[in-house]
Structure 1
Amino acid sequence: MKKLMFAAAALALTAGGAMAQDVVRMGTEGAYPPYNFVNDAGQVDGFEVELGNELCKRAELNCTWVRNDWDSIIPNLVSGNYDTIMAGMNISDEREQVIAFSEPYTPPPPSAYAALSADADMGGIVAAQTNTIQAGYVAESGATLLEYATGDETIAAVRNGEADAVFADKDFLAPFVNESGGQLVWIEEGETVVVGKGIAIGMRKTDTELKAKFDAAIETMKADGTLNTMITKWFGEEAETFE
């Protein structure tokens, strides 16, 4: 569900070899609930952590989780600091020039605008997380884009009046809107925009064996219905699932 700067990522796609080591290091942000977050015990948690653990089990891989800030998550993958990205990352043409993706583990997720008023100006000042596909969409829309390092900061920008609205994954925004007591509302009654191809595991292009293992595990979860069950658990009965 995000877009990355690739300056550092262009270093090399030569740091492969995930399957040559005993542990597959799973990179995540830990700051994008319900996809990934840090729980009260200080451990990474969320939809992608539960899913990643199940995929590693099915693929017979020994996996561990590594946290990394969003704005450098692709460069640190290709430089070898970890072996995968599971961080709410949408497949996009731009990203596919730099890294490989697994089969998607969610359908293309909808994005939406939220604000303090339902008639807020979507063409005014709009907050989005830096280097996301939502930020790119806002920039191309003609609105004034304000980028922030984290999703939480985009919400804060609306609340403190720095931005007229925030544009992000609707699944990310929904808890903030629902728990705001009416302070935050959907613009255009929650009208959504699809700006990605589906969320998937990012990997180095050289790690073809690892990709094949994760692809096969994802397909088994789609086939037996457990992936749809997990999506519904974390995102609710209205969430888009696989047919």
Structure 2
Amino acid sequence: MKFKKQVLGTVVILAGVLLAGCANGGKNATGKDTNYKSELVKRGSLTIGLEGTFAPYSYRDNGKLTGFEVELGQDIAKKIGVKPVFVPTKWDSLIAGLGSGRYDVILNNINKTPQRAKVYAFADPYIYSRYVLISRSDEKGLKTLASIKGKKLVEGTGTDNFNVATKYGATVVPNGDFPTALGLIRQDRVAATINSREAFLAYAKSNPTSDLKYVDLSKTLAPTAVQPMLNKQSPKLLAKVSAAIKELRQDGTLTKLSEKYFGSDITKAN
């Protein structure tokens, strides 16, 4: 009987510890929220999916992965207390990789659409991208979205640019690599591409573009909010990522990164 009383007492103490932990909202002894860590693909790391081939968002410089979204991922991971791990993935399988649990979040110049929102969750926006229509400098017939009807445009399969081009009647040649797309335009194999102004300006920093031009489509297409994409099964991690972005916006980090990689502040909608 004495032994049974001791066991019972131990159980009561353990139950009290567990209840205290629940009452503390999943916080550890330091007061930091740790609930989200159970939702990570790899404990202690924020695994980030991106293409790694789309300057200035993510690309390789002398073999090293760098870019706006790479530094952003590092800053987000630091804010939530984990290490960043990047998984470069081709666009065609990037979103599927999130669904299959290869990574925790996608940072890849991606935005929320009704179709994506049915399956995935989106954290707070970090930049706002503006659509432009890029063509050869001697091209005189492409000045508006209406003018692309019946024309050949090169766009990445499944991208918003692809959807816009299709909506306005263009015949789309699939290719998601930006330099390759510009090469197809130069070779007169396609008439144009719809892409982001920021991507073109970043490309122009280190490449000649006198044979190309772009038309700003902001009067027709509103700037697009670019957001991290996560699984809906990770609500606590989603809240952590959103909170980190808010902090990075407030402390000026987002603006600094934007000016570094794009030459201007594109972190605001207006």
Query: Which TM-score applies when normalising by structure 2?
Result: 0.76
What per-residue deviation string (whole Å, max 9, x for no partner) do you get for residues 130-181 of structure 1? 2110100000101222121422221121011110111111111224456324
Partners of 1:30 and 1:93 lie apart in 2 by: 26
Instruction: Label 1:105 to 1:200 Cα distance change in 2 as closer, same or farther (>3 A).
Output: same
Identity score, percent: 24
1:163-222 Cα deviation digits (max 9, x unpaired): 0111111111224456324111124xx444536641111111101111111111111111
Amino acid at match of 2:253: T
Instruction: State the 1:231 CA deviation.
Output: 1.3
**Matches of 1:35 and 1:91 in 2, distance apart?**
17
- Structure 1 stretches of 4+ with a deviation exceeding 4 A read none
User: What SS does the aligned partner of 1:25 have?
Assistant: strand
Correspondences of 1:156-167 after superposition (within 5 Å): 156-167=183-194
CA RMSD between the two structures: 2.1
Cα deviation for residue 64 of structure 1 reads 0.9
Contact 1:92/1:196, CA 8 A, preserved across alignment = no
Matches of 2:221 and 2:260, distance apart in 1: 22
Give the aligned partner of residue 10 of structure 1: none
Following the alignment from structure 1 to structure 2, what is the Cα–Cα distance between the partners of residues 20 and 207? 13
Q: 1:106 to 1:238 in 2, by over 3 A?
A: closer
* Aligned CA distance change for structure 1 residues 176 and 24 (closer, same or farther; 3 Å): closer
Structure 1 position 115 matched with structure 2 position 135: yes
Matched, 1:26 2:48: yes
Partner residue, 2:85: 64
The one-letter code of the counterpart of 2:112 is I
Where 1:221 maps in the other structure, the secondary structure is: helix
Q: Under a length normalisation based on structure 1, what TM-score does the superposition of the two structures give?
A: 0.84
Tell me the SS of whatever aligns to 2:126. Answer: coil
What amino acid maps onto 1:182 in structure 2?
Answer: S
* Distance in structure 2 (CA, Å) of the matches to 1:31 and 1:135: 18
Rate the CA distance shift 1:104–1:157 in 2: closer, same or farther, 3 A. Answer: same
2:168 equivalent in structure 1: 141
Counterparts of 2:108 and 2:209, CA distance in 1: 28
Instruction: Decide whether the 8 Å contact of 1:112 with 1:169 is kept in 2.
Output: yes
Contact 1:37–1:46 at 8 Å: present in 2 too? yes
Residue in 2 that maps onto 1:186: 214
Structure 1 Cα separation of the partners of residues 64 and 45 of structure 2: 18
TM-superposition CA deviations, 1:41-87 (whole Å, max 9, x none): x2211000111101111111222111111111111111011111111
Q: Kindly tell me: are residues 142 and 21 of structure 1, through their superposed partners in 2, closer, same or farther at Cα, counting changes over 3 Å?
A: same
Any unmatched runs of 5+ in structure 2?
Answer: 1-37, 143-147
3-state SS of 1:64 partner: strand
In the alignment, does 2:67 pair up with 1:39? no
Distance change (3 Å), C-alpha of 1:93 and 1:195: farther
Q: Which runs of 5+ in 1 are unaligned?
A: 1-15
1:5 — aligned with what?
A: none
Question: Is the partner of 1:100 in helix, strand or coil?
Answer: strand
- The AA in structure 1 aligned to 2:208 is S
Q: Residue 153 of structure 2 aligns to a residue in which SS? A: strand
Higher relative contact order (CA 8 A, sep 6+): 1
Secondary structure of the 2:85 match is strand
SS in 1 for 2:200: helix
Counterpart secondary structure, 1:52: helix
- The one-letter code of the counterpart of 1:103 is D
Is residue 2:112 matched to residue 1:91?
yes
Kept in 1: contact 2:135–2:214 (CA 8 A): yes
